[in-house]
Amino acid sequence: MDPVSKDILSQLLPAEKEILSPAGSRQRLSHLDHWSPAILLERAAYLAKLAKHSDGAASETLKQYPRHSTMLSFRSRDGFAEVHENFADIFVVLDGRATLVTGGTVVAARLIAPGETRGDAIEGGASQELRAGDLAHVPAGRPHRMLVAGGQTFTSFVVKIQENP
Protein backbone atom coordinates (compact mmCIF):
# COMPACT_ATOMS: atom_id res chain seq x y z
CA MET A 1 0.00 0.00 0.00
CA ASP A 2 1.40 3.40 -0.95
CA PRO A 3 2.05 6.07 1.77
CA VAL A 4 -0.92 8.25 0.72
CA SER A 5 -3.31 5.28 0.91
CA LYS A 6 -1.87 4.29 4.27
CA ASP A 7 -2.38 7.83 5.61
CA ILE A 8 -5.98 8.00 4.39
CA LEU A 9 -6.71 4.54 5.78
CA SER A 10 -5.25 5.49 9.18
CA GLN A 11 -7.70 8.41 9.24
CA LEU A 12 -10.57 6.05 8.41
CA LEU A 13 -9.72 3.70 11.28
CA PRO A 14 -10.26 5.78 14.41
CA ALA A 15 -8.08 5.55 17.48
CA GLU A 16 -9.39 4.41 20.85
CA LYS A 17 -11.80 6.85 22.43
CA GLU A 18 -12.03 7.71 26.12
CA ILE A 19 -15.54 7.93 27.55
CA LEU A 20 -17.17 8.27 30.94
CA SER A 21 -19.08 5.23 32.16
CA PRO A 22 -22.42 5.68 33.93
CA ALA A 23 -20.55 5.46 37.25
CA GLY A 24 -18.27 8.30 36.17
CA SER A 25 -15.06 6.29 35.76
CA ARG A 26 -13.04 6.64 32.57
CA GLN A 27 -12.94 3.73 30.11
CA ARG A 28 -11.13 3.11 26.83
CA LEU A 29 -13.24 1.80 23.97
CA SER A 30 -11.26 0.05 21.29
CA HIS A 31 -14.29 -1.71 19.78
CA LEU A 32 -15.99 1.46 18.57
CA ASP A 33 -15.37 2.22 14.91
CA HIS A 34 -17.00 5.18 13.23
CA TRP A 35 -16.84 6.27 9.60
CA SER A 36 -18.77 9.37 8.58
CA PRO A 37 -20.33 9.52 5.11
CA ALA A 38 -17.92 12.34 4.22
CA ILE A 39 -14.86 10.24 5.05
CA LEU A 40 -16.24 7.21 3.21
CA LEU A 41 -17.07 9.27 0.11
CA GLU A 42 -13.63 10.90 0.20
CA ARG A 43 -12.06 7.45 0.27
CA ALA A 44 -14.45 6.31 -2.47
CA ALA A 45 -13.15 9.15 -4.69
CA TYR A 46 -9.70 7.57 -4.36
CA LEU A 47 -11.17 4.15 -5.24
CA ALA A 48 -12.84 5.74 -8.30
CA LYS A 49 -9.41 6.86 -9.51
CA LEU A 50 -8.06 3.34 -9.04
CA ALA A 51 -11.08 1.89 -10.86
CA LYS A 52 -10.57 4.26 -13.78
CA HIS A 53 -7.09 2.83 -14.33
CA SER A 54 -8.16 -0.80 -13.93
CA ASP A 55 -11.32 -2.69 -14.84
CA GLY A 56 -13.91 -0.19 -13.56
CA ALA A 57 -14.16 -1.49 -9.98
CA ALA A 58 -12.13 -1.06 -6.82
CA SER A 59 -12.72 -1.98 -3.20
CA GLU A 60 -10.86 -2.24 0.04
CA THR A 61 -11.34 -3.87 3.39
CA LEU A 62 -11.66 -1.21 6.07
CA LYS A 63 -11.48 -3.50 9.09
CA GLN A 64 -11.52 -7.21 9.96
CA TYR A 65 -13.42 -8.46 12.99
CA PRO A 66 -13.70 -12.02 14.38
CA ARG A 67 -16.86 -12.97 12.38
CA HIS A 68 -17.34 -10.06 9.99
CA SER A 69 -15.50 -7.39 8.05
CA THR A 70 -16.28 -3.97 6.59
CA MET A 71 -15.44 -2.85 3.08
CA LEU A 72 -15.83 0.10 0.80
CA SER A 73 -16.72 -0.65 -2.83
CA PHE A 74 -16.81 1.53 -5.93
CA ARG A 75 -17.88 0.38 -9.38
CA SER A 76 -18.54 1.96 -12.74
CA ARG A 77 -19.24 -1.38 -14.44
CA ASP A 78 -21.22 -4.56 -13.84
CA GLY A 79 -19.87 -6.99 -11.29
CA PHE A 80 -19.48 -10.72 -11.70
CA ALA A 81 -22.18 -13.07 -10.49
CA GLU A 82 -21.02 -14.42 -7.14
CA VAL A 83 -21.95 -16.77 -4.32
CA HIS A 84 -20.36 -16.69 -0.88
CA GLU A 85 -21.04 -20.05 0.76
CA ASN A 86 -20.30 -18.84 4.30
CA PHE A 87 -20.75 -15.07 4.22
CA ALA A 88 -23.74 -12.76 3.93
CA ASP A 89 -23.34 -9.30 2.38
CA ILE A 90 -25.04 -6.20 3.68
CA PHE A 91 -24.82 -3.29 1.25
CA VAL A 92 -25.36 0.29 2.45
CA VAL A 93 -25.57 2.46 -0.66
CA LEU A 94 -23.62 5.69 -0.27
CA ASP A 95 -23.85 7.11 -3.78
CA GLY A 96 -25.14 6.31 -7.24
CA ARG A 97 -27.43 3.52 -8.28
CA ALA A 98 -27.23 -0.06 -9.44
CA THR A 99 -29.47 -3.06 -9.95
CA LEU A 100 -28.94 -5.94 -7.53
CA VAL A 101 -29.86 -9.30 -9.06
CA THR A 102 -30.35 -12.13 -6.52
CA GLY A 103 -31.31 -15.78 -6.68
CA GLY A 104 -31.45 -17.80 -9.85
CA THR A 105 -28.51 -19.73 -11.29
CA VAL A 106 -24.95 -18.55 -11.86
CA VAL A 107 -23.93 -18.91 -15.52
CA ALA A 108 -20.43 -20.32 -16.20
CA ALA A 109 -19.85 -20.78 -12.46
CA ARG A 110 -16.27 -21.36 -11.33
CA LEU A 111 -14.82 -21.85 -7.85
CA ILE A 112 -12.20 -19.13 -7.26
CA ALA A 113 -11.46 -19.97 -3.61
CA PRO A 114 -12.96 -22.30 -0.99
CA GLY A 115 -16.60 -21.26 -0.56
CA GLU A 116 -16.36 -18.53 -3.23
CA THR A 117 -17.96 -18.94 -6.66
CA ARG A 118 -17.93 -16.44 -9.55
CA GLY A 119 -19.71 -16.49 -12.87
CA ASP A 120 -20.57 -14.43 -15.93
CA ALA A 121 -24.26 -13.78 -15.25
CA ILE A 122 -27.35 -14.88 -13.35
CA GLU A 123 -30.30 -16.59 -15.04
CA GLY A 124 -33.72 -16.42 -13.43
CA GLY A 125 -32.87 -14.01 -10.61
CA ALA A 126 -34.97 -11.18 -9.18
CA SER A 127 -33.88 -7.56 -9.73
CA GLN A 128 -34.02 -4.65 -7.30
CA GLU A 129 -32.80 -1.13 -7.99
CA LEU A 130 -30.59 0.30 -5.24
CA ARG A 131 -30.07 4.03 -4.63
CA ALA A 132 -28.22 6.16 -2.10
CA GLY A 133 -29.58 5.49 1.38
CA ASP A 134 -30.81 1.97 0.57
CA LEU A 135 -29.71 -1.12 2.48
CA ALA A 136 -29.77 -4.65 1.07
CA HIS A 137 -29.00 -8.00 2.74
CA VAL A 138 -27.88 -10.98 0.67
CA PRO A 139 -27.73 -14.17 2.78
CA ALA A 140 -24.87 -16.65 2.55
CA GLY A 141 -25.30 -19.08 -0.35
CA ARG A 142 -27.52 -16.79 -2.47
CA PRO A 143 -26.26 -15.88 -5.96
CA HIS A 144 -26.04 -12.12 -6.52
CA ARG A 145 -24.69 -9.57 -8.98
CA MET A 146 -24.52 -5.76 -9.19
CA LEU A 147 -25.38 -4.22 -12.56
CA VAL A 148 -24.33 -0.61 -13.19
CA ALA A 149 -25.85 1.20 -16.18
CA GLY A 150 -23.44 2.79 -18.66
CA GLY A 151 -22.07 6.10 -17.44
CA GLN A 152 -23.33 5.52 -13.88
CA THR A 153 -21.35 4.74 -10.73
CA PHE A 154 -22.18 2.89 -7.53
CA THR A 155 -20.53 3.27 -4.13
CA SER A 156 -21.42 1.13 -1.12
CA PHE A 157 -20.28 0.32 2.38
CA VAL A 158 -20.32 -3.47 2.68
CA VAL A 159 -20.50 -5.61 5.79
CA LYS A 160 -19.54 -9.26 5.20
CA ILE A 161 -20.93 -11.43 8.00
CA GLN A 162 -19.95 -15.04 8.60
CA GLU A 163 -23.24 -16.97 8.75
CA ASN A 164 -21.92 -20.51 8.29
CA PRO A 165 -18.76 -21.43 10.24
Rg (CA), the chain: 18
Q: Provide the CB-side half-sphere exposure for 83 (13 A, CA).
A: 21
Of 148 and 3, more confident: 148
Please report the beta strands in 65-164, taking only residues with DSSP state E, as ranges in sequence order: 68-75, 81-84, 87-102, 105-107, 110-113, 116-119, 121-123, 126-131, 135-138, 144-147, 154-162
Mean pLDDT of the chain: 87
Q: Please report the domains of the chain, with CATH numbers, ordered by start residue.
A: 3-162 (2.60.120.10)
| pLDDT over 50 (residue 65) | yes
Q: How confident is residue 20, by pLDDT bands cut at 50, 70 and 90?
A: very low
DSSP 50: H
Q: Provide the CB-side half-sphere exposure for 64 (13 A, CA).
A: 1
| pLDDT over 80 (residue 12) | no
pTM: 0.80
Query: What does the pLDDT read at residue 18?
Result: 42
The answer for residues whose C-beta is within 8 angstroms of residue 85's C-beta and 6 or more apart is 115, 116, 117, 140, 141, 164
Q: What percent of the chain has pLDDT over 90?
A: 76
Q: How confident is residue 32, by pLDDT bands cut at 50, 70 and 90?
A: confident
